[in-house]
């Protein structure tokens, strides 16, 4: 099996498992941009190698060995993203595509050197947790921004890194990880959300976003006194 393809599939399954207990083939096809026959063939090969458990018509799940490989690839990817952003000043909307190229070839020695020079970081430029060398990853209490109600305040924890144009747009709105926001209003019918950056009463920091943008942002609610 092509090792890069194996890693791409395992990483995709790991990420998709957060929204579905078992990952259906159609979800992998859409996520990876492959045809159904190729996806089915690869899933069977992964199952034969004990990297996934697979039951026809019921989807696929990572086994512990498969999850270990997925987390290692994700660790490489997110460390590289942060290195490109911090050491080379690559814009945050460009680091994902570059890291996709590096994640499969990064040696353990270079991985450790990058980790050390960055000060052993725990999150990447988009707020996603970086797995530890031992494969541990932080489980956080977060929800997607559309789950918030009018008047709620929250801290942005993570944003999706898969759409360059979206990241550029979020940057223009200053919607970076660790930014505090407040939901001012949610329009009926189309559910457009008016968001305010910061906790002040300054309405000049208000802007309106749609559901697609809002659904790319993970937040942690701020408890009100």
Fold of 75-139: Arc Repressor Mutant, subunit A (1.10.10)
Residue-level pLDDT at 111: 95
Q: Among candidates 69, 76, 93, 183, which has minimal Cα distance to 130?
A: 76
d(CA 175, CA 181): 9
Q: Mind listing the pLDDT tens digit for each residue in 84-142?
A: 999 999 999 999 999 999 999 999 999 999 999 999 999 999 999 999 999 999 989 99
Residue-level pLDDT at 66: 97
pLDDT at 1 over 70: no
Average pLDDT over residues 205-211: 93
CATH architecture of 143-221: Roll (2.30)
Q: Mind listing the pLDDT tens digit for each residue in 16-45?
A: 988 777 899 999 999 999 999 999 999 999
Question: What mean pLDDT is reported for the chain?
Answer: 93
Q: Give the pLDDT band of residue 225 (cuts 50, 70, 90).
A: low
Single pTM value for the model: 0.89
**Same topology between domain 3-62 and domain 143-221:** no
How many Å is the Cα radius of gyration of the chain? 19
pLDDT at 162 over 90: no
Instruction: Please work out, in degrees rounded to the nearest 5, the angle formed at the alpha carbon of residue 27 by the alpha carbons of 76 and 156.
Output: 55
Fold of 3-62: Arc Repressor Mutant, subunit A (1.10.10)
Please state the domain extents for the chain: 3-62, 75-139, 143-221
Q: Give the pLDDT band of residue 5 (cuts 50, 70, 90).
A: very high
d(CA 178, CA 119): 19
Query: Percentage of residues in the chain with pLDDT exceeding 90?
Result: 84
In sequence order, which residues have a C-beta less than 8 Å from that of residue 3 and are 6 or more positions away? 104
């Amino acid at each position: 099996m092509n090792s890069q393809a194996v890693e791409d599939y395992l990483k995709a399954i790991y990420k998709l498992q957060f929204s579905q207990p078992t990952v259906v083939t159609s979800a992998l096809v859409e996520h990876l941009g492959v045809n159904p026959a190729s996806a089915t063939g690869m899933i069977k090969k992964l199952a034969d190698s004990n990297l996934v458990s697979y039951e026809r018509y019921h989807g696929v799940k990572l086994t512990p060995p498969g999850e270990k490989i997925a987390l290692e690839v994700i660790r490489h990817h997110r460390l590289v993203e942060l290195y490109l952003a911090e050491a080379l000043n690559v814009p945050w909307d460009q680091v994902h595509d570059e890291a996709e190229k590096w994640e499969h070839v990064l040696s353990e020695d270079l991985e450790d050197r990058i980790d050390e020079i960055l000060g052993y970081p725990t999150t990447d430029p988009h707020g996603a947790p970086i797995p530890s060398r031992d494969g541990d990853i932080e489980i956080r209490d977060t929800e997607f921004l559309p789950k918030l109600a009018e008047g709620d305040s929250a801290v942005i924890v993570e944003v999706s890194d898969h759409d360059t144009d979206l990241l550029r747009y979020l940057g223009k709105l200053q919607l970076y990880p660790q930014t505090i926001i407040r939901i001012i209003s949610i329009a009926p019918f189309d559910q457009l959300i008016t968001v305010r950056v910061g906790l002040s009463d300054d309405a000049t920091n208000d802007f309106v976003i749609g559901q697609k943008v809002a659904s790319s942002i993970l937040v942690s609610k701020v408890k009100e006194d």
